[in-house]
Each structure stands twice: as C-alpha cells, then as structure tokens.
Homo-oligomer: A and B are copies of this chain.
C-alpha cells in the first residue's frame, strides 16, 4: 500500500468543536476535570461517535472509554487514543485531539479497508492532567496497567478535599471495581498529541514521531514559620517563611535555566497561609515540577533542588519539608514503531522529524504493558495548558494521516 489515505478535515474540525463544548471556558478554553458532569458528557459523546462509526464502545470500571474494531485474527490489540480530561483551564486540543484522531483513524480504516487483520481499539482515558486530584499520576492508564494501589481511591483527595472514591461514586462508578480495568492483551499503544512546545514550529514541520519521554518528579514543599502582625512585630524577631520560600523558588528555577535544555523546572502553584496582606504568613507551600529525559541527570537535578531547599531553610532558620507527589522515570518509544511511523509519514508525503517529548503522557504508563510510540502535531507558538493553545486543522489532519497510515501498516 503506497496510496494516500485521505482524512476528512471537516469531520476533524466538527468533532473538535463539539467536544470542546463539554466544559467550555471562555471562547477557546476547556475546564473538564475528571468525574465532573462535563467529563461525563464528553465520555458519553465519544461513545456515541464510536458507535456511529461502527465500533463497539464500552466504559471500563475506572471510567475510560474503549471502542473496538475486532480483527480477523484476534490476539492482542493495537490501541490508539489519549485522555479526555483537561487542565483548568486548558485548551481544546490537549488530550482531546488524540481521542478524536483515534476515532477518525479507526473510522477511516474501517470505511476504506474493512475488517482489519488484528484488533484495533480506541481509548479515551479518564484522567491524565492531575488538574483535580494533584496525585492521580495518570489515573486512567494506571488502572489499565494495574498500577493503582488498593488504598488510593479512599485517600487521594481533590483540591476541595473530596476523595477520588467519592468522586467516582458521584458519577456511577464503583471504586472497588478499579482492578477490573486492568488489561493484559494490548500489544501496541500509539498516542497522537499536540506537541505543547515550540520545536516543530521552529523547524517548520507539522508532525514528529516521539522517540522518548522525560522523567518527571513533582514536589510539594512546605516552609513553616510563625504568623505575626505585619506592623507590630519587628523584622529581626519574625519567623517569616516568605523570604525563604521566595529564595527557594528563585533558586530552583535559576538552576534549571543555567543547565538549559532539556532540563526544566517549574513552580506553578503557591499557597500562603493565611494569605492576608497584614499578617506575616504562618506557612508558604509551593510545587516544583522537575523534568529531564536522562535518568541520571533527573536524579542529579532533583538532588540539587533538595539541597537548595535544605540550605536556604537552614540559612533562614525556617523548617522545610516536602513530599514527592509524582515520580516517573524517563522511558523510550519502541524503535521499530518509531521507524514504522516515519515510513508511514514518508509514504504519505508528510514532512516529519523525530523528537523527545517534553511533556509526560499516558504512553509512558502504557509502556509497562505494551510497545509504545507517539505522533506529535505542531502547536502554534508552542502554547499549551492554556486556552490560547492552538493547532491548525491542516496540521491535525497531517498527524491523523500519519497515525492512520501507521495503524494500517500494523493492523492490516
């Protein structure tokens, strides 16, 4: 097969537009946190579309939606898809485009080539962003790979204190049944996703095949002091946690800047208690997000950050402590799959490159049970995790064409 596989651009645009209504935020944004009414609506919409496309759709015990195109030979599945939840607010492409891409790919393959040799499946993962529960760590793909601990449902809490078990029950899911979502019959997982960074734009290319994924560690740091009156307590007698926290934040970001690409460090969340102008704070908490594709370099950077926290706390005479809320080692795509998708892109005459991912993805979790690879499409201005996120329909269609041609090579 070396003919062009045409992708219906109008269909892609329509599905993106309609999916973005669930949790619409402003003109272009989406707030679709796991186990909320908007999330329920979006997953049901994906199931309807899948059924309309001739696939057999179901929701698993954790809330992932699966849609199946049974192959003649049976055997382990070739899966494509991404996550349905969003940042708060995020854009309409992150995750959603991968779900729609998988749907369009399977629909196109079925319409044009009929029943595949091997079974193809679409997955719409319930949760990837940790935008509601800070410590979910890829709830959807962890359920599929059997990596959710038995105590987690009743102990993980959202930013309002609701347990994830209660959130599941509120949408009709039984947290005790999470183990039933585990799969051991997946051979390949391919995820299409927006790049979320500026590399493809800088190179003038629409599509990349992803060679590997960064290691990531999330810290939740607490610096404790003593609340006092902002006027009556002299500077020299304060136990203000703020200057130590501010210095820590400056220092960890500065270190990642010095090291340069591909090291990154982000302080995206700060909470002050009690957070009033005329009160010296009792406590300052903040997150540190650290990423690096090289395991040794990631460990080294994290160790340096921890030493920074300790030494600044000591110099200021403040108490500091931290918890690691997320930790994933770096991992690689399957080299054969990478080559197969590069070949598919060449065959479709779509300009393509390879690159490591800066973001973490469900594919990293799926690598525990399957061979994985990813297809990235260009992000305008490299923007993501913001309503300003945008990818042109032309680039989305180019990515879906590569995905579809690659899946055709694997499954037909």
A residues at B contact (CB < 8 Å): 87-89, 129-131, 134, 195-198, 214, 216, 218, 226-237, 240, 242-243, 246-247, 249-250, 253-254, 256-257, 260-272, 274-282, 284, 287, 289, 291, 325, 357-360, 379, 382-386, 388
- Residues in B whose Cβ lies below 8 Å from that of A280: 266, 268, 385
**A/B interface sample: 29 pairs, CB < 8 A:** A134-B277, A196-B231, A196-B233, A198-B233, A218-B278, A228-B385, A229-B358, A231-B264, A231-B359, A232-B357, A232-B358, A233-B382, A234-B260, A235-B260, A235-B264, A236-B260, A236-B261, A240-B266, A242-B249, A243-B254, A246-B253, A266-B279, A268-B276, A268-B279, A268-B280, A269-B272, A270-B272, A270-B284, A280-B385
Closest residue on chain B to residue A242 by CB atoms: B267
- Residues in B whose Cβ lies below 8 Å from that of A289: 230-231, 277-278
| Docked complex Cα distance between A284 and B160 (Å) | 22
| Docked complex Cα distance between A247 and B130 (Å) | 28
Interface residues of chain A: helix, strand, loop or mixed (majority):
loop
- Residues in B whose Cβ lies below 8 Å from that of A287: 277
Chain copies in the assembled complex? 2
> A231-B358, A232-B379 are known contacts; what are 6 more A-B pairs with Cβ within 8 Å?
A196-B233, A198-B233, A229-B358, A233-B382, A242-B268, A277-B325
- Residues in B whose Cβ lies below 8 Å from that of A384: 228-229, 232-233
Which single member of B88, B231, B277, B291 contacts A231 (CB below 8 Å)?
B291
Nearest 6 pairs between A and B by C-beta?
Answer: A197-B232, A196-B232, A232-B358, A230-B266, A227-B386, A277-B287
Question: Smallest Cβ distance from A21 to chain B, in angstroms?
Answer: 21
Q: B234 near A262 (CB under 8 angstroms)?
A: yes
| Docked complex Cα distance between A333 and B37 (Å) | 60
Closest residue on chain B to residue A202 by CB atoms: B237
Q: A278 near B274 (CB under 8 angstroms)?
A: no
Q: A130 near B229 (CB under 8 angstroms)?
A: no
- Residues in B whose Cβ lies below 8 Å from that of A237: 198, 382
Q: B88 near A230 (CB under 8 angstroms)?
A: no
